[in-house]
Amino acid sequence: MVLLALMIAMMLAMLDNMIVGTAMPTIVGDLGGLEHLSWVVTGYTLATAASTPVWGKIGDMYGRKGAFLSSIVIFLIGSALSGMAQDMGQLIGFRAVQGLGAGGLMVGVMAIIGDLVPPRERGKYQGMMAGIMALAMIGGPLVGGTITDNWGWRWAFYINLPLGAVALALVTAVLHLPRKRSKAGIDYLGVVLLTVGITSIVLVTTWGGSEYAWTSARIMELIGIGVATLVGFVFWQTRAAEPVLPLHIFRSRNFTLMSLIGFITGFVMFGATLFLPLYQQAVQGASATNSGLLLLPMLGAMLVTSMVAGRITTGSGRYKIFPIAGGALMIVGLYLLSLMDTGTTRLTSGLYMAVLGAGMGCLMQITMLVAQNSVQMKDMGVASSSATLFRTLGSSFGVAIMGALFNHRVQDVMSERAGAVGSKLTEKSAQLDAASLAKLPKAAREAYQHAVSEGTHSAFLLGAVIAVLVLVAALFVKEVPLKGGPQKPAADGGDAVPAPMAEIV
């Protein structure tokens, strides 16, 4: 029952952006404010990223159950207010409230599972988490479209309320964790410095190359603010009585390596989920309505691999092979995807996606498992929140950098193949919707298809190069026995101790 509640909460956090993304055209048509459209997503992302480490620390200090329930309540309040928004400004503000709660949902799920289930047994539940992720990414656009068409866009937010109420009731009734009460106060200065630093980074990756040129004064200012505040944050964490992100957890080689691997996995995964549907719609003529289903080969392979990896890890206690295999498969999958052109069939692209999905399946939950196994129980929350934060930041960088490379390549190819007309078509956005694409003359449409193929080639080739870092980092992972494994009597007749890894296998 506890796991059911946790999975519902996890789905709330992951499903929301997918549903809202599909409803956005209708929302803009009703509320107006097209020029502020990007802030509906950006406000939510900023609040989620900035609040993630704070929720983890609050759970460590004051108890995970209370922190988790609070995050659900804040998320539901934000959902209800977003559904009642009367203009775009209100919607952006209420989405930020929703994001504050969402930051605690993912961290709460991971940390509570970390409290309840020993690392050795935790692999059994990886398939469930991967399944929720796949379900959200596939079903989100379909659910969003159905809700918007039949009930109106406000129900894209109201649908969270009954699901959240079930999660609240179950967590309150069946989750029993020891209460905590830290004598130390919250590190408010650390929270402020970290929030400003994360906000600056996310804004740079969101605005760079779209709202502002990468070399513009605004982007340079944000980079300066971000670097200064993060340096100040690191300095302050060495002196704070109860640091919001204790730096000693990074003394663990495995934890630091998993943070790097999680960052790159986020970089690659969200870049892939952005460009694959675009390629299949623009080049292969797939329907935008079923865009979530286009990712099924990748997500299905990710789900199966994650379940297999979890079972093997639980049975043997060994896990180092999975980051290594995941890094290798990710490199191969991204390279294969970079080979796609205007003649690539859906079957071929589906097979390429499955290779990438298998690589991500080896990494998605193993990174969290090893990160949690590398810290003491008292730091479970900050370990979970840090791993989640690095993956979130990786996704921001991935979308920004791969997106900038994609847009630049599309515009260059359109200029080469369609001249001034091609440049004008893509000067505002390199991503044309299906309706705009259908209106183009045949020559311009073919030029755009070639341009998208070239753009995805460049983006995925960059991803393959970046993914090499995963393989390198995985080679340096030290296979520390997972806590909670088989026990053997101590030689002196004292307390039982974990059996050595060789004996476990």
- Dmax (CA) of the chain: 84
Which spans in 117-249 are helix H?
119-122, 126-150, 155-158, 160-174, 188-207, 217-237
Q: Measure the CA–CA gap between 73 and 51, rounded to whole angstroms.
A: 15
- Helix/strand/coil for 488: strand
What are the pLDDT digits (tens) for 138-170?
777 777 777 877 888 888 889 889 988 988 888
Q: Measure the CA–CA gap between 275 and 405, rounded to whole angstroms.
A: 12
- Helix/strand/coil for 498: strand
> Mean pLDDT in each 10-residue stretch from start to end of the chain (505 residues)?
82 77 74 70 82 86 87 93 88 90 87 80 71 74 77 87 89 79 74 88 80 86 93 90 85 91 87 79 71 77 86 83 94 93 88 92 84 84 85 82 82 75 57 62 79 89 93 91 56 39 27
Q: Distance of CA 26 to CAs 23, 240, 404, 470, Å?
A: 6, 47, 27, 40
143-162 as b/e: b if 16+ CB within 10 A: bbbebbeeeebbbbbbbbee
Q: Which domains does the chain possess?
A: 1-178 (1.20.1250.20), 246-480 (1.20.1250.20)
Residues β-bridged to residue 457: none
- Helix/strand/coil for 212: strand
Q: Taking Cα atoms as reference points, which of 148, 397, 383 lies closest to residue 269?
A: 397
Determine which helix (DSSP H) or strand (DSSP E) holds 487, and give its type and residue range: strand 487-488
- Count the helices and strands in the chain (H runs, E runs): 18, 2
What are the pLDDT digits (tens) for 355-380?
999 998 888 878 888 888 888 878 88
Residues β-bridged to residue 236: none
Q: What is the pLDDT of residue 502?
A: 28
Q: What is the pLDDT of residue 299?
A: 82
- Helix/strand/coil for 13: helix
Q: What is the pLDDT of residue 35?
A: 63
Q: Measure the CA–CA gap between 233 and 9, rounded to whole angstroms.
A: 31
Q: Measure the CA–CA gap between 300 and 302, rounded to whole angstroms.
A: 5
Tell whether the torsion through CA atoms of 68, 47, 54 and 17 is positive or negative. Answer: positive
DSSP 186: P
421-436 as b/e: b if 16+ CB within 10 A: ebeebbeeebbbeeee
Tell whether the torsion through CA atoms of 259, 264, 265 and 271 is positive or negative. Answer: positive
Torsion of CA 4, 10, 14, 15, to 10 degrees: 30
Instruction: Name the burial class of residue 500, with classes exposed (0-12), middle (13-18) and buried (19+) by CB atoms within 10 angstroms of its CB.
Output: exposed
DSSP 494: S
